[in-house]
Structure 1
Amino acid sequence: MSLETDDLIRALAQNADSVCCHYLPAGRREGSYWMVGDLQNNPGRSLFVRLTGPTSGPGARGKWQDGATGQHGDLLDIIRERTGITRFPDLLAEARAHLGRPQPVVPDAIDPRRPKSPSGTPEAASRLFAAAVPVAGSLAEVYLRSRGLTQAVPNSALRFHPKCWHREEGQLNPAPRPAMIAAVTDAAGVLQGVHRTWLAPDGQDKAAVKTPRRAMGHILGNAVRLSPSDTILVVGEGIETMLSVREAVPSLPVWAALSSSHLGAVIIPEGVQRLYIAVDRDPAGARAAERLSARASEAGVQAIVLEPQLGDFNDDLRAYGREALRQHLAAQIGSEDQDRLQI
């Protein structure tokens, strides 16, 4: 183990409470432990994380064990499981982001003799995402709270940039504005693009501009993975829409495709047995659901459409509340997955 990795694990242990709150939100603190059902963040008391004590040794702070399976490990293992990150360098980057540490700078990346990647490429998207900071404590958190969204999101999916350039069509000079930055990743977890939501100065709403949302990079077929998929997956259009589904049922794995056209083209991951398609209540959403359902059927995956009562699920959450949305989803989710609704 490298010195930096060892240092990160110790730092995570020193912040075990915040790590557990962020990555295992279905659990709760009980004395010196964080108790939760399992690594999939299901409610229960089988898995426990030590929150006190020394930062090294077998019974150290940050160590966890699942009494039902015998699994055990450290907080880095929990972050890997909850984010679905497979590449170790990306896992370390996620840990740094959660701790608010700067990402290391590769010397070649700042060599003035090396031409910069053109804007709009995955490389440019990666630079922007790396320059962003965790959502917690930022205007992006204020914005999400204003939309009724309280569940923590992984730093590998959403971040905040205080001065993200924004240019209106026909405008000569861009202006720096605060923005929520979402990572668009492929099946291997590699960042292929980002989605930007520019925010008002107080974070209470989107910026008062003509185009407050834009994507850059390679979006088609990819998605904002707000939580890792397993045997089921819920996929829809907007980030706020899918966070609303997760707000009501935290154990559901959710992805955002960002638009109706991209929803119909999302690549269905291997291992998914049932695909829930959370549509917006408009003709474009219905057409996207039809396309994705047909592709799922061809792949031997059962597709089930989830419909909101209003325009989208964030409208439902804000109008009726979390419990009402959970009940509305419960009426549409298959019997095989009803256990996911327990909170």
Structure 2
Amino acid sequence: MANLMDVSDIARMLAGQIDTLVGALLPAAVRDGNEWRVGGLDGSPGRSLCIHRHGARIGVWKDFSSHDDAGDALDLVAAVLYGGDKGKAVAWAKSWLGLDAMDPNRLKQVRAKAKAATNAAQAQMERDAAQRRKVAKAIWLEGQGIVVGDAVYNYLFGRGIDLKQLGAMPGALRFRESLEYPPAMNGDKRESYPAMVSAIIGESGEQVATHRTFLKDYGFGMVRKAPVRDAKLTLGSYKGGVIPVHKGISGKPLKSAPQGDKVILCEGIEDALTLTLHAPEYRILAAIAVSNFQNLGWLPDTISDITIAADNDPETITDAKTGEIRPHPARLAVAAAVDMFQTQGRTVRVAYPPDGSKDFNDMIKPRDAAQGQAIK
């Protein structure tokens, strides 16, 4: 049997029955669209642990309350039942799937079926990704250039960013007067909001995704993030992509960056605009998430100087379950990006906002007079 069925086959077969498997392992888990959600590997209620239910990532899971806990369906069995012991998980899975009682010919058929299902899911995922890129680009193209007084301008002004000071509005950012918020994330309700839509470009220089910031206009120029589950969403994969917020002193597109070009990388659009106001000589790129910095090794070789303007995340975190103190995942991600860029021969430095500010935009945001806190 060992020659007929390896651990990857078993993982695929478990993934093919992921709904039943999750019910057996984590009965407190609840369905949330294309995912199962539960509090953790201990089965407690909550949302920290996410398990994919469909598509090429079916069975893939991650516990977002932990830096290391993630894997495929077989890893889930090992983590929940056996403290990570993969050998015991394989034995349990064979029994649960009924493999121990199968004859060799039947095992071959089951293995082939599992592999075919994986290949079909991968092909479907690629088709779905292409369609998402198409829709994402259309959402951006249907936007309008930002003008003084529109909802995007007023939202950013409320964050301490006066776009008039830039001289020209950022071309990657546009305004949609009305954009539907995904019903699947809104209790199936269909609601539309004004939105800032931003083009995310990849290594080819082509747009690969669109970042959306949904807004709520309260009148009298006061615009805030929309009161929804997550006001900032990306359509399409942003991995390895950036929002080119500012071209710097050269004024050239990213793919044509001149020799010696200097870049500031940050996470969010608001941080990027804040940095543009205060360091206009630099090219400013928003990477959307700290984990994406290390996917940007493709930046042109002509960019010799990179400053990572990181958020002010704590240096360590304490595991809620074990009490273990370890480096914060964001700090580890920044360190990994620094190592990568330095290996490429670039000059790299990291800048953090001062204590009391969570990010660079937080430094300039107006404060709530009653609370003394930056307005969100």
Task: Give the corresponding residue for 2:53.
Answer: none
Task: Give the corresponding residue for 1:157.
Answer: 172
Partner SS state of residue 273, structure 1: strand
**Amino acid corresponding to residue 348 of structure 2 in structure 1:** A
Give 5+ residue unaligned stretches, structure 2: 1-126, 248-253, 314-327, 368-376
Give 5+ residue unaligned stretches, structure 1: 1-115, 321-343
Task: Give the corresponding residue for 2:225.
Answer: 206
Partner SS state of residue 308, structure 2: strand
Q: Is the 8 A contact 1:274 1:301 kept in 2?
A: yes
Change (3 A) 1:284 1:269: farther
**Amino acid corresponding to residue 291 of structure 1 in structure 2:** A
Q: Deviations over 1:109-152 (max 9, x none)?
A: xxxxxxx9889621111111110001113200111111111234
Alpha-carbon shift at residue 319 of structure 1 (Å): 6.3
Q: Which has the larger radius of gyration?
A: 2
Task: Give the corresponding residue for 2:153.
Answer: 141
Q: Is the 8 A contact 2:159 2:366 kept in 1?
A: no
Q: Deviations over 1:73-112 (max 9, x none)?
A: xxxxxxxxxxxxxxxxxxxxxxxxxxxxxxxxxxxxxxxx
**Amino acid corresponding to residue 295 of structure 1 in structure 2:** M
Aligned residue among 235, 245, 267 for 1:216 = 235
Task: Give the corresponding residue for 2:268.
Answer: 238
Aligned residue among 340, 356, 364 for 1:317 = 364
Q: Deviations over 1:234-290 (max 9, x none)?
A: 001011011111111222210001112123322332211111000001134322211
**Amino acid corresponding to residue 145 of structure 2 in structure 1:** P
What is the identity percentage for the equivalent residue pairs of Structure 1 and Structure 2? 22
Aligned residue among 274, 281, 302 for 2:312 = 281
Aligned residue among 294, 300, 303 for 2:339 = 294
Give, in whole Å, the separation in 1 of the partners of 2:305 and 2:170.
27
The 5 A counterparts of 1:182-197 are 182-197=198-213
1:167 aligns with 2:214: no
Q: Deviations over 1:35-92 (max 9, x none)?
A: xxxxxxxxxxxxxxxxxxxxxxxxxxxxxxxxxxxxxxxxxxxxxxxxxxxxxxxxxx
Partner SS state of residue 171, structure 1: coil
The 5 A counterparts of 1:103-142 are 121-137=132-148, 138-142=150-154
**Amino acid corresponding to residue 336 of structure 2 in structure 1:** R
Change (3 A) 1:178 1:157: same
1:271 aligns with 2:302: yes
TM-score for the superposition, normalised by structure 1: 0.56
Q: Is the 8 A contact 2:137 2:207 kept in 1?
A: yes
Task: Give the corresponding residue for 1:40.
Answer: none
**Amino acid corresponding to residue 147 of structure 1 in structure 2:** R
Give, in whole Å, the separation in 2 of the partners of 1:307 and 1:166.
33
Q: Is the 8 A contact 2:240 2:295 kept in 1?
A: yes
Give, in whole Å, the separation in 2 of the partners of 1:120 and 1:303.
37
Give, in whole Å, the separation in 2 of the partners of 1:178 and 1:255.
24
Change (3 A) 1:189 1:200: same
Q: Is the 8 A contact 2:145 2:171 kept in 1?
A: no
Q: Is the 8 A contact 2:170 2:245 kept in 1?
A: no
Q: Is the 8 A contact 1:223 1:258 kept in 2?
A: yes
Q: Is the 8 A contact 1:120 1:216 kept in 2?
A: no
**Amino acid corresponding to residue 141 of structure 1 in structure 2:** Y
Q: Is the 8 A contact 1:118 1:124 kept in 2?
A: no
Question: What is the count of residue pairs matched by the alignment?
Answer: 205
Runs of 4+ in structure 1 displaced over 4 angstroms? 116-120
Give, in whole Å, the separation in 2 of the partners of 1:134 and 1:312.
27
1:177 aligns with 2:196: no
CA RMSD in angstroms comes to 2.3
TM-score for the superposition, normalised by structure 2: 0.51
**Amino acid corresponding to residue 223 of structure 2 in structure 1:** Q
Give, in whole Å, the separation in 2 of the partners of 1:155 and 1:274.
22
Give, in whole Å, the separation in 1 of the partners of 2:130 and 2:188.
16
Q: Is the 8 A contact 2:200 2:210 kept in 1?
A: yes
The 5 A counterparts of 1:49-60 are none
Alpha-carbon shift at residue 218 of structure 1 (Å): 2.6
Give, in whole Å, the separation in 2 of the partners of 1:161 and 1:185.
19
Q: Is the 8 A contact 1:260 1:284 kept in 2?
A: no
**Amino acid corresponding to residue 289 of structure 1 in structure 2:** V
Change (3 A) 1:277 1:120: farther
**Amino acid corresponding to residue 167 of structure 1 in structure 2:** P
Change (3 A) 1:118 1:286: closer
Change (3 A) 1:276 1:193: same
Q: Is the 8 A contact 2:242 2:286 kept in 1?
A: yes
